[in-house]
Amino acid sequence: MSERPVIRLRPKSRPQAIRHGFPWVYEDEVVLDRRTRKLTPGSFALLEDAERRPLATVTVNPDSKIVARVMDLSPDAVIDEDWLRDRLARALQMRTRLYDAPFYRLAHAEADGLPGLVIDRFGDVAVMQPNAAWADAMADQIAAALTNVAGVSTVILNGQGRTRGLEGLAERTEVLRGTAPTGPVPVQMNGATYLADVMGGQKTGLFYDQRPNHAFAQRLVAKGEVLDVFSHVGGFGLAMLAAGADRATCVDGSAPALDLAQGGARAMGAEDRLTVLQSDAFKALEQLAADGRQFDVVICDPPAFAPSKSALEAGLRAYERVAKLAAPLVTPGGYLGLCSCSHAADLTQFRNVSARGIGRGGRRPVLIHSGQAGPDHPTLPQLAETGYLKALFFRLD
């Protein structure tokens, strides 16, 4: 048996949840004595149940509400570069079966057995987000395993975002292997060209999770005008231009993101069919309505309005407001797509506020399709947070 530190569940905790695949242990579920509180964030320990029976090898962070994350159900697992290579090889095998080109999410945290670690691949470049203390501490070993398993030459660490703060991790961005690209990386998806800013863009530079929802939106348009609100680098707008839309308008608050959208349209030969509008999305929706504008397809893909349970009520109100403002902008018989990446808001809640908002906007909705993230973003059934993305497509009469 390993000589690593031991942390123990409280008597009323449920060890069967861990045995059945739940990957987190919260601070109120373990004995947090002086010894446990002194453990280094990101270190590894043996998790035992209240009867001192071994459960799993975990990584510990006494500074987080998630005190322990399951790394391996073997109590004797050694978390080293060999272990990392094995996990990454399994993740890579599934992606290469699913995708013809090396552009995808390579590791999706807990769902790929790599708690808190996200890795997106852009051809020969991998961008990793170590959002758990262990992954931040082992960043160099992860980079080495990535180059060995996936054959990438450049590995970039993007240590930005709210999740790292919850783990007590400082923000940082650095190149761990190879050389940073001199400009945005072009990515082909669904016949469209996107430009990913892997050094300075949002998250890893591009959102792969919406790929199947972009493809569904393409089926709704053969021509006509489309509106993509909270567009980032042109996700839905560029996809629908590639499918034959006459014109697309992309609305976002970020000028750099819109510059990348224009660059993607230029690479597709569709620059003259794209209009960009830098604006607060709510103000833009109100102004477009005041101008009497309507579009054949309207998509709203906002940031997470409900990133936590405490923000749920306000987040649901914001989603309802988006639906209310967007509905009048859809031509009769046209389509409205509404998205949520808030794991705190489940599908039923999001569907209900979306329908209510559309009704308050004076339209009658018929739900024609519900979408989720692509298969390179697998869902761990025991952890709702891994199934965060929801996309609803309505036909408005």
- Give catalytic residues, as residue numbers: 341
pLDDT digits (tens, 9 = 90+) for 107-145: 999 999 999 999 999 999 999 999 999 999 999 999 999
What length does the chain have?
397
In the chain, how many H helices and how many E strands? 12, 19
Tell me: pLDDT of 163 over 90.
Answer: no
In Å, what is the CA distance from 381 to each residue of 18, 110, 211, 345? Answer: 13, 11, 21, 16
DSSP string, 116-139: TEEEEEETTEEEEEE-SHHHHHTH
In Å, what is the CA distance from 117 to each residue of 26, 131, 192, 307? Answer: 19, 6, 28, 18
Residue 160 pLDDT level (bands cut at 50, 70, 90): confident
Tell me: pLDDT of 1 over 70.
Answer: no
More confident residue, 162 or 169: 169
Judge: domain 81-177, CATH 3.30.750.80: yes
Q: Rounded CA gap, 344 and 386, in Å?
A: 11
Beta-bridge partners for 26:
66
* Homologous superfamily of 6-72: PUA domain (2.30.130.10)
Q: Rounded CA gap, 365 and 228, in Å?
A: 19
Contacts of 321 (CB under 8 A, 6+ apart): 282, 357
User: Are 393 and 369 within 8 A, CB to CB?
Assistant: yes
Q: Write down the H helix ranges in the chain.
A: 15-19, 34-37, 81-98, 133-137, 139-150, 162-166, 211-219, 235-242, 255-268, 281-290, 312-326, 347-360
Q: Which two tokens stand for residue 300?
A: 């709203």
pLDDT digits (tens, 9 = 90+) for 308-338: 889 999 999 999 999 999 999 999 999 999 9
pLDDT at residue 165, rounded to an integer: 86
Strands (E), 265-389: 274-278, 295-300, 330-340, 365-371
Q: Rounded CA gap, 365 and 368, in Å?
A: 9
Q: Rounded CA gap, 372 and 389, in Å?
A: 5
Tell me: pLDDT of 71 over 60.
Answer: yes
pLDDT digits (tens, 9 = 90+) for 179-218: 999 999 999 999 999 999 999 888 899 999 999 999 999 9
pLDDT, the chain, mean: 95
Other Cβ atoms less than 10 A from the Cβ of 71: the count is 23
Residue 279 pLDDT level (bands cut at 50, 70, 90): very high
Tell me: pLDDT of 383 over 50.
Answer: yes
pLDDT at residue 40, rounded to an integer: 94
Give the mean model confidence (pLDDT) for residues 346-370: 97
pLDDT at residue 222, rounded to an integer: 84
Residue 384 pLDDT level (bands cut at 50, 70, 90): confident
Q: Rounded CA gap, 286 and 302, in Å?
A: 16
- What percent of the chain is modeled with pLDDT above 70? 99
User: Are 245 and 223 within 8 A, CB to CB?
Assistant: yes
pLDDT digits (tens, 9 = 90+) for 142-154: 999 999 999 999 9
Where in the chain are the domains?
Answer: 6-72, 81-177, 185-396
Q: Write down the H helix ranges in 9-80.
A: 15-19, 34-37
pLDDT at residue 166, rounded to an integer: 85
Tell me: pLDDT of 10 over 90.
Answer: yes
Tell me: pLDDT of 4 over 70.
Answer: yes
Helix (H, G, I), strand (E, B) or coil at 378: coil
Beta-bridge partners for 275:
249
pLDDT digits (tens, 9 = 90+) for 362-381: 999 999 999 999 999 999 99
CATH class assigned to 185-396: alpha beta
Q: Which two tokens stand for residue 16?
A: 């069967």
